[in-house]
């Protein structure tokens, strides 16, 4: 999520910014550089080891692209890493080899974890949200900061309260919201280093009102995309309505219960609203026999709109954004040929897919905000 310019900006703000560890500089020696930097920070007490077992309650106050304000509250704890087959940690998306190789090389060199996965707990008894709330209501946070317009507050918790939170977080299986690559890398590294049997997880109860999932709109590059191309590719499955850029969010909103809708944004104030026909034949979709995937708007729109449109436009790699305004701006500026706006999946749909052992299409979810890197580090011998 951090591009080279952002990395430079963070490092200029503070020489001890966590980017020096998670995105180390150098060629073949960059992972060694991270290990040396970590050792120096520990020696100079830039990082200090806790005196006992701790958990860390975290609040993130943020504003969605639609302008709504939320506060998400969770707890950073040391989560046991184990293969998915055990069923206690459940994924919903597939991973890629490259990112895992990079993170594994960093773990081998530093013997540390700097970034918490975002995880969800069903918290069926409500004990986790209750124990976390007791911390935030009884005292002021010990650390506060603002990162990318997200207000972050942190409460270190030890002793009896920490044990109560850890116990509450252990009652149910955990679902990975964000951080599949890092979790799987942790599982791989634990086979090399038995001491590395835990990783960092920011665990959020499902009932937390700030648990928000945004859609990830699809940006299509390549050659020219026009209305005729879209109509030729989609009219067999979708009803098509011509509209403008004036109210793209309103156009995207389903007009009836269970309607599958999408909006294709084009230059020159053009847009097409697509509505899946009630009698559309879905039997040839690759996931036609998987009800959890068939229930996802994004899966159907990807298969019947995004993929054929991207291929017709030249097959360039897709880009993504959760912000309709940004999608529109990219189209208007000519940075992309078109944008396909999709509706978000629900948290329950994420759980359903994970419980079924299925995998969502790439970039189906955007949990806002990301778990901030560097709030807590976990070291292994």
**Shared-domain flag, residues 326 and 226:** yes
**Residue 3 has what pLDDT?**
87
Q: What HEC string does 225-253 produce? A: CCHHHHHHHHCCCEEEEEECCCCHHHHHC
**Shared-domain flag, residues 156 and 292:** no
Domain presence at residue 128: yes
Q: Grade residue 1 by pLDDT with cuts at 50, 70 and 90.
A: confident
**Residue 316 has what pLDDT?**
87
109-135, pLDDT tens digit by residue?
Answer: 999 999 999 999 999 999 999 999 999
- CB-CB contact of 37 with 187 (8 Å): no
Residue among 103, 120, 126, 87 at smallest CA distance from 30: 103
Q: How many CB atoms lie within 10 A of CB 210?
A: 17
Domain presence at residue 7: no
Residue 85 clears pLDDT 80, i.e. is over it: yes
**Shared-domain flag, residues 264 and 144:** no
**Shared-domain flag, residues 164 and 269:** no
Burial of 105 (0-12, 13-18, 19+ CB in 10 A): middle
Domain presence at residue 5: no
The tokens of 76 are what?
A: 């950073």
**Residue 369 has what pLDDT?**
95
252-300, pLDDT tens digit by residue?
Answer: 999 998 899 999 999 999 999 999 999 999 999 999 999 999 999 999 9
**Residue 127 has what pLDDT?**
97
DSSP secondary structure string for all residues of 171-218: SS-EEEEE-HHHHHHHHHHHHH-TT--EEEEEEEETT-TT-EEE--EE
- Pairing mode, if any, of strands 54-63 and 150-158? antiparallel
Mean pLDDT on 356-372:
94
17-38, pLDDT tens digit by residue?
Answer: 999 999 999 876 899 999 999 9
Domain presence at residue 357: no
Mean pLDDT on 221-228:
91
Q: Grade residue 229 by pLDDT with cuts at 50, 70 and 90.
A: very high
CA distances in angstroms from 248 to 188, 263, 338, 368, listed in the order given: 44, 8, 13, 21
**Shared-domain flag, residues 113 and 240:** no
**Shared-domain flag, residues 266 and 373:** no
For residue 259, the enclosing domain spans 216-343
CATH number of residue 243's parent domain: 3.30.1760
Domain presence at residue 61: yes
Domain presence at residue 57: yes
The tokens of 301 are what?
A: 């729109």
Residue partners of 134: CB distance under 8 A and separation at least 6: 161
- CB-CB contact of 218 with 342 (8 Å): yes
**Residue 28 has what pLDDT?**
67
Mean residue pLDDT of the chain comes to 95
**Shared-domain flag, residues 94 and 175:** yes
- CB-CB contact of 166 with 55 (8 Å): yes
Domain count, the chain: 2
**Shared-domain flag, residues 236 and 154:** no
CATH number of residue 138's parent domain: 3.90.1530.10
**Shared-domain flag, residues 158 and 193:** yes
Looking at residue 114, what DSSP letter applies? -
- CB-CB contact of 351 with 175 (8 Å): yes
Cα–Cα distance measured from residue 302 to residue 235, given in angstroms and rounded to the nearest whole number: 15
**Shared-domain flag, residues 175 and 309:** no
- Pairing mode, if any, of strands 174-178 and 112-113? unpaired
Domain presence at residue 36: no
168-181, pLDDT tens digit by residue?
Answer: 999 999 999 999 99
323-347, pLDDT tens digit by residue?
Answer: 999 999 999 999 999 999 999 999 9
Identify the residue whose tokens are 């969770």: 74
Q: Grade residue 232 by pLDDT with cuts at 50, 70 and 90.
A: very high
369: cis peptide before it, omega within 30°?
yes
**Shared-domain flag, residues 164 and 272:** no
Domain presence at residue 351: no
**Shared-domain flag, residues 221 and 208:** no
- CB-CB contact of 92 with 119 (8 Å): no
Cα dihedral value 346, 349, 350, 355, nearest 10: 160
140-149, pLDDT tens digit by residue?
Answer: 999 999 998 9
pTM score, two decimals?
0.93
Residue 249 clears pLDDT 90, i.e. is over it: yes
């Amino acid at each position: 999520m951090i591009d080279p310019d952002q990395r430079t900006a963070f490092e200029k703000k503070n020489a001890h910014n966590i980017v020096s560890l998670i995105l180390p500089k150098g060629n073949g020696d960059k992972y060694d550089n991270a290990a040396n930097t970590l050792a120096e920070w520990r020696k100079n007490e830039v990082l200090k080891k806790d005196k006992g077992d701790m958990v860390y309650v975290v609040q993130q106050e943020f504003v969605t692209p639609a302008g709504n304000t939320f506060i998400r509250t969770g707890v950073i704890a040391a989560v046991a890493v184990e293969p998915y087959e055990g069923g206690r940690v459940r994924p919903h998306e597939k991973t890629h080899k490259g990112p895992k190789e990079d993170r594994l090389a960093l773990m081998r060199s530093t013997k540390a974890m700097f970034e918490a996965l975002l995880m969800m707990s069903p918290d069926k008894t409500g004990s986790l949200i209750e124990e976390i709330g007791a911390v935030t209501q009884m005292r002021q946070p010990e650390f506060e900061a603002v990162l990318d317009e997200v207000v972050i507050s942190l409460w270190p918790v030890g002793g009896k309260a920490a044990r109560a939170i850890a116990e509450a977080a252990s009652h149910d299986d955990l679902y990975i919201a964000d951080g599949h690559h890092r979790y799987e890398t942790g599982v791989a590294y634990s086979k090399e280093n038995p001491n590395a049997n835990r990783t960092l997880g920011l665990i959020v109860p499902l009932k937390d009102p700030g648990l928000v999932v945004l859609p990830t709109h699809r940006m299509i590059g390549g050659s020219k995309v026009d209305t005729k191309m879209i109509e030729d590719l989609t009219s067999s499955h979708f009803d098509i309505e011509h509209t403008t850029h004036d109210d793209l969010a309103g156009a995207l909103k389903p007009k009836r219960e269970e309607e599958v809708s999408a909006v294709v944004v084009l230059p020159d104030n053009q847009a097409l609203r697509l509505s899946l026909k009630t009698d559309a034949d879905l039997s040839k979709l690759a996931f036609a026999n998987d009800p959890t995937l068939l229930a996802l708007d994004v899966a159907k729109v990807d298969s019947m709109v995004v993929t054929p449109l991207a291929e017709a436009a030249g097959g360039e790699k897709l880009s993504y954004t959760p912000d309709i305004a940004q999608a529109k701006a990219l189209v208007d500026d000519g940075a992309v040929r078109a944008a396909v706006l999709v509706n978000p999946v629900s948290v329950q749909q994420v759980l359903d897919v994970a419980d079924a052992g299925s995998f969502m299409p790439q970039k189906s979810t955007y949990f806002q905000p990301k778990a901030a890197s560097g709030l807590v580090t976990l070291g292994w011998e």
